[in-house]
A and B are shown apart, each in its own frame.
Chain A
Amino acid sequence: MSKKIISEIRRDHIFNLLKEGKRSDGRKLDDFREIKFETGIIESADGSAVVEMGKTKVTAGVKIIPGTPFGDTPNLGVLTTGAELIPLAHPDFESGPPSPESIELARVVDRGIRESGMVDMSKLCIKEGEEVWMCFLDLYAINYDGNLFDAFNLASVLALKTAIIPNEQYGKGEDVPLPITCLPISVTSAKLGSSLILDPNFDEENISSARLTVTTDDDGNFRAMQKGGQGSITLDELSHCLDMAVAKGEEIRKLIG
């Protein structure tokens, strides 16, 4: 995601509308685009989901494989998250080693899931110190029109929520659902001028000066945050972002229930 170019006339149009509290696609500042999702789309994965937010479309897949635990957590399963911004999804995406942008995306999504304790890692131990279940969560952008943070987060949560531990495949008894404790939902605010908006589309995202991703748990407590972009956010803006993240997070959690 190197510097994307947005025409000046389009940029001015978006900023002028924002001054009246409007957005170019008719949404209110704190509206998400219509969210569509489907789980279990890939049979070869142990859990999968596709999420659309307007024209942004992403997929998530989980592969669950027995492996060796880390030395300092001998009785805990392992979660690894990767995100790929493949050239199929946007003309500016290039193949090759992961960009800083894709690494940041994967790490922020991972942080929300990990810190919320969404997957009960203690139940993924097969034999302490020797064998645990390792969850490989991989995210792919299919069509990029902004807000990959929240789209990836939602797809991850849906894929994990519907994932199955493949006991049968490895001769370990019957398949069971992955143990899930809560649904961490991230809500990303983008700052354009002095306006804060949710679920920015491509144009909005690329003329924004800063963004803040806030991940909340079922109780509305904060589990992960990440500020990005070259601009700053004031303390008042921070407070507004937190309010919106709690309110919208609850709404989205209900939607995917």
Chain B
Amino acid sequence: MSGTTDMILVNKDGKRIDGRTPDEHRDIKIEAGVLANADGSAYVEIGKNKVLAAVYGPRECHPRHLQDPTKAIIQCKYNMQTYSVSDRKRPGTDRRSVEISKITAEALEKVVLTELYPRASIDVYIEILQANAGTRCAGLTAASVALADAGIPMRDIVPAIAAGKADGYVLLDLNKEEDNFGQADVPMAIVPSTNEIVLLQMDGNMTREEFDKAIEMGVRGCHDVYKLQKEALLNRYSDGGDSDE
């Protein structure tokens, strides 16, 4: 958001540097049930982002002082692998990943029927294999598919996508260049059946009008992602495949 460039991010015809129109998302690929050991898992590619999510649980909650006698807690760990960005990322937890883990877990709380598993923990692990703007949304998208794949009762699946602004245009699903040199980024996630917002962040500079447009675009984008999430789950359980259930 802070960088400057002479690069034209959106040309006169409203085409972006990767050929997309303003309200078009990147190619999305979602696969459910990709890890043998996890109770549920998913692999997501959004453009050049490559993300793995695994769910373990419901299982005994550690550390025990975090146990909630009325419901399960969701513990999320978002982690960027060292080679996922152009400079090597220092391994381990940093402040950014703590924040993303927190808001991801909070977004999932809304849909998971945690009250069915008192004192338990549902552990969600998100690994970013390759990052190209939009990893928190890709991570949450993968995590919700992994939760469904784990057979954990949920009210709905949570899709996530970012809207933003570059060269003065409101855009859906920013790529790396648009994210670095654009003017705003609005990652969001919704519960598709009600359009309620469960994750929302914003940074940059937007007028009310631009922001309203970004939200409208984001909600539509989320519904596109939702369709692909459902397809991935259907594929996993309909073609027999490598299912071990």
Contacts and interface: CB of A to CB of B under 8 A. Distances in A.
Given A104-B99, A238-B215, A242-B211, A232 B206 contact: no
Most chain A beta-carbon contacts within 10 A, residue among B95, B103, B212, B219: B95
A140 interface: no
B233 to A, nearest CB: 22
B85 interface: no
Contact of B196 (A107, A217, A233): A233
15 contacts: A3-B68, A106-B95, A115-B205, A221-B205, A222-B202, A222-B207, A224-B202, A225-B201, A226-B103, A226-B200, A229-B106, A230-B110, A231-B110, A232-B110, A238-B197
Contacts of B197: 227, 232-235, 238
Contacts of A2: 66
Interface in B71-103: 95-96, 98-99, 101-103
Contacts of B235: none
A217 B183 CA distance: 14
Contact of B98 (A103, A212, A220): A103
B2 interface: yes
Nearest to B111: A232
A227 B99 contact: no
Interface in B187-245: 191, 194-208, 211-212, 215, 219
A73 interface: yes
Q: How large is the interface on B (under 10, 10 to 19, 20 to 34, 35 or more residues)?
A: 35 or more
B109 interface: yes
Interface in B176-194: 186, 191, 194
A242 B208 contact: yes
Nearest to B191: A232
A224 B99 contact: no
Nearest to A225: B202
A216 to B, nearest CB: 10
Interface of B: 1-3, 66, 68, 95-96, 98-99, 101-103, 106, 109-110, 186, 191, 194-208, 211-212, 215, 219
Contacts of A3: 68
B109 to A, nearest CB: 4
Contacts of B194: 232, 234
A246 B106 CA distance: 26
A173 interface: no
In the A-B complex, the 6 residue pairs with the smallest Cβ-Cβ separation, listed nearest first, are: A232-B196, A225-B202, A230-B109, A227-B200, A100-B102, A115-B203
Given A104-B103, A231-B110, 10 more contacts: A114-B2, A115-B204, A116-B205, A221-B207, A222-B202, A224-B202, A224-B203, A225-B186, A228-B102, A235-B197
Interface in A195-240: 212, 217, 220-235, 238-239
Nearest to A112: B203
Nearest to B207: A221
A222 B211 contact: yes
A223 B203 contact: yes
B93 to A, nearest CB: 10
Contacts of B206: 221-222
Given A100-B102, A103-B98, A234 B196 contact: yes
Given A221-B207, A230-B110, A107 B99 contact: yes
Contacts of A238: 197, 200, 215
Most chain B beta-carbon contacts within 10 A, residue among A72, A103, A116, A234: A103
A103 B191 CA distance: 26
A111 interface: yes
A79 to B, nearest CB: 11
B184 to A, nearest CB: 8
A181 B109 CA distance: 39
A226 B95 contact: no
A103 B200 contact: no
A64 to B, nearest CB: 20
A226 B201 contact: yes
Contacts of B2: 73, 114
A222 B210 CA distance: 10
Contacts of A217: 205
A208 B205 CA distance: 28
A100 B205 contact: no
Contact of B215 (A229, A235, A246): A235
A146 B98 CA distance: 22
Nearest to B186: A225
B205 A223 contact: yes
